[in-house]
Chain A
Amino acid sequence: MNKTDDAYYIEAVRKGNVAAFSVLVERYQNMVYSLALKLLKKPEEAEEMAQDTFVKAYQKLDTYEGKSKFSTWLYSITYNACISELRKRRIEFKSLDDRQISDDDEQKMHDYYRETKKEDQEKYLNLALGKLPEDDQVLVTLYYYENQSMDEISMITGLTVSNIKVKIHRARKRMYALLHEMLHEEIYTLL
Chain B
Amino acid sequence: MNKLDKQFEGLIKEISIDSPSKDFTLKVMNRIQAEAAVQHRPALQNYQPVISRKAWLIIGLAFCALLIYITVSGSDTATESTPGFWSKLLGSVETINSTGMTSIWQKGMNIFGNIPPVALLIMTASMALWTLDTYLTRLRHHSSKVNL
Contact = CB atoms under 8 A, between A and B. Distances in A.
B18 interface: yes
Contacts of A145: 12-13, 15, 17
Interface of A: 16, 18-19, 21-22, 25-26, 29-31, 33-34, 37, 46-47, 50-51, 54-55, 58-60, 62-63, 103, 106-107, 110, 113, 121-122, 125-126, 129, 140-141, 144-145, 172, 175-176
A29 B144 contact: no
SS of A interface (majority): helix
Interface stretch (B23-31, B56-64, B112-120): B23-31
Interface of B: 4-5, 7-9, 11-21, 24-25, 27-29, 31-33, 35-36, 40, 144, 147-148
Among B12, B14, B148, the one with the most A-chain Cβ atoms within 10 Å of its Cβ is B12
A128 B40 CA distance: 48
A58 B35 contact: yes
Nearest to B16: A122
B147 A51 contact: no
A134 B117 CA distance: 63
B21 A25 contact: no
Nearest to A171: B8
A59 B148 contact: yes
Contact of B18 (A19, A21, A37, A113): A37
Contacts, number: 100
B7 to A, nearest CB: 5
Contacts of B8: 110, 144, 172, 175-176
Contact of B17 (A21, A31, A113): A31
Nearest to B12: A144
Contacts of B18: 30, 33-34, 37, 46
B17 A62 contact: no
A119 B35 CA distance: 45
Contacts of B33: 18
A29 B29 contact: no
A125 B19 contact: no
A125 B12 contact: yes
Contacts of A22: 25, 28-29
Contacts of B148: 59-60, 62-63
Contacts of A47: 20-21, 24
A126 B15 contact: yes
Given A47-B20, A50-B24, A55-B35, A16 B40 contact: yes
Contact of B20 (A30, A103, A172): A30
A58 B20 contact: no
B147 A60 contact: yes
